[in-house]
Amino acid sequence: MNKKKIINDPVYGFISIPSELVYDVISHPYFQRLRYIKQLGMTHLVYPGALHTRFHHALGAMHLMGLAINLLRSKGHTITEGEEEAANLAILLHDIGHGPFSHALEHSLVSGIQHEAISAKLMQELNVHFGGKLTHAIEIFNGSYPKKFLNQLISGQLDLDRMDYLNRDSFFTGVSEGVISFDRIIKMFNVFDDNLVIEEKGIYSIEKFLIARRLMYWQVYLHKTVIAGEMLLVKILERAKYLSAAGENLFAAPSLSYFLKNDINESNFFLQQQNLEHFTNLDDQDIYAAVKVWVKHPDKILASLCKMLTSRNLYKVEMSNEIANVDRIEFLQKAIINLLNIETEEARYFVFTDKIQNRAYNAGVGNIKILMKNNDIVDIAKASDLSNLESLQKTVEKYILCYPRGI
């Protein structure tokens, strides 16, 4: 069978599947599941075009890896064919541990488990399935492979994962502020002392990349309506889990039912193989099918929350630099208690506070290094003459207050 396929990608044009092993990994059910998990979760509630999947994103990141490796070879750096295939596999599988609506899921059904840990475990499972052929890919993914720069292409402040999702998310949302010069940035890649660096000529493209990332966070990923949709789903799953723990038999696909009925957390997730089996059987469709049915559930709180989501009558979200006034929170809680005739402790499903963070550049973690013409290595925050670039290192924290509209 011919496994050297090409895929027509709306962002980059034709993407080639570079080897038979890569084709077989893409064909595996663990990877095919990503077709049914949206890259941007609830963002389509604001930007209707944001319906692309993690499957798209993984293929796009692999395509950029191919471009980066060809470029580094052209500059005299030795990367064997085996290393190229391993790097392609590592970036292809970097998001394989994401669950449906992953950030909502990480806060409710499987508390405290980071998708990176699940990705690492699934890569080991695949390595067993493929007879150890993914060993080098796993080493590159976790940073233990001798050539450090290969890991930096996957995980860093300027990795190919970020480069693809900024490019792809701006394309599908139509938010032009997120468009970056990915091809120009890749052409400026180099390796110095086994570290990935950017040649001095690329400073302005990197500045635009960092600013685009900050703007995409405020305009897309942390948009108030996106937060409202995600918070609503978190509260729905919280309530469903509470009812299941109380013995209620809720409609749900078997794998979703498993997570509703069992307390799966960071300490016990990897102890039982069935946890992983059920997790890899979950996708967006399971969650949304359950929400549609729960609209008619006799529990007033679950039904109300599900109606809010299916009719897009989302929380009102107030974002501020200050924590919300306690009197105002109490006033809103009393209003919802009277309106829905619910108990005081049940008001937390409808009126609550939280906080969000945005940090465009995390100096100290995989810094972006600029290779100057005199061979000095300088951090981008120091090399740039943009006065606001240093401010991108600061973590901007905002407080949010959520409550139903019309109370």
> Where along the chain do its domains lie?
6-221+377-395
Q: How confident is the model at residue 388 (pLDDT cuts 50, 70, 90)?
A: low
Predicted pLDDT at 347: 96
At residue 360, does pLDDT exceed 80?
no
Predicted pLDDT at 390: 66
Predicted pLDDT at 306: 98
At residue 132, does pLDDT exceed 90?
yes
The set of residues, in sequence order, having a beta carbon less than 8 Å from that of 330 and lying 6+ positions away, is none
- CA count, 13 A, side-chain hemisphere, 289: 14
At residue 212, does pLDDT exceed 70?
yes
Predicted pLDDT at 387: 62
The tens digit of pLDDT for each residue in 263-288 reads 998 889 999 999 999 999 999 999 99
Average pLDDT over residues 51-80: 97
Q: Which two tokens stand for residue 332?
A: 């809103």
The residue ranking higher by pLDDT, 110 or 62, is 62
Q: What is the pTM of this model?
A: 0.94
Average pLDDT over residues 7-27: 97
Contact 206, 26 (CB under 8 A): no
Q: How confident is the model at residue 135 (pLDDT cuts 50, 70, 90)?
A: very high
The tens digit of pLDDT for each residue in 216-229 reads 999 999 999 999 99
Average pLDDT over residues 392-407: 87
Predicted pLDDT at 266: 84
Predicted pLDDT at 188: 97
Within 10 angstroms of residue 374's Cβ, the number of other Cβ atoms is 6
Share of the chain above pLDDT 90, in %: 80
Direct distance between the N- and C-terminal alpha carbons of the chain, in angstroms, rounded to an integer:
62
Contact 95, 162 (CB under 8 A): no
Name the amino acid, one letter, at 310: T
Q: 36-40, 289-293, 319-323, 363-367: lowest mean pLDDT where?
A: 363-367
At residue 340, does pLDDT exceed 70?
yes
Predicted pLDDT at 379: 87
At residue 104, does pLDDT exceed 80?
no
Predicted pLDDT at 108: 81
Residue with tokens 């799966």: 264
Quick one: fold of 6-221+377-395? Hypothetical protein af1432 (1.10.3210)
Residues constituting the chain: 407
Q: How far is CA 33 from CA 113, 143, 162, 379, in A?
A: 19, 26, 21, 39
Q: How confident is the model at residue 407 (pLDDT cuts 50, 70, 90)?
A: confident
Average pLDDT over residues 380-402: 79
Give the three-class secondary structure for 251.
coil
Q: How confident is the model at residue 3 (pLDDT cuts 50, 70, 90)?
A: confident
Average pLDDT over residues 139-150: 95
At residue 168, does pLDDT exceed 90?
yes
Positive or negative, the Cα torsion across 249, 341, 349, 235? positive
- The Cα 144–Cα 147 span in angstroms is 8
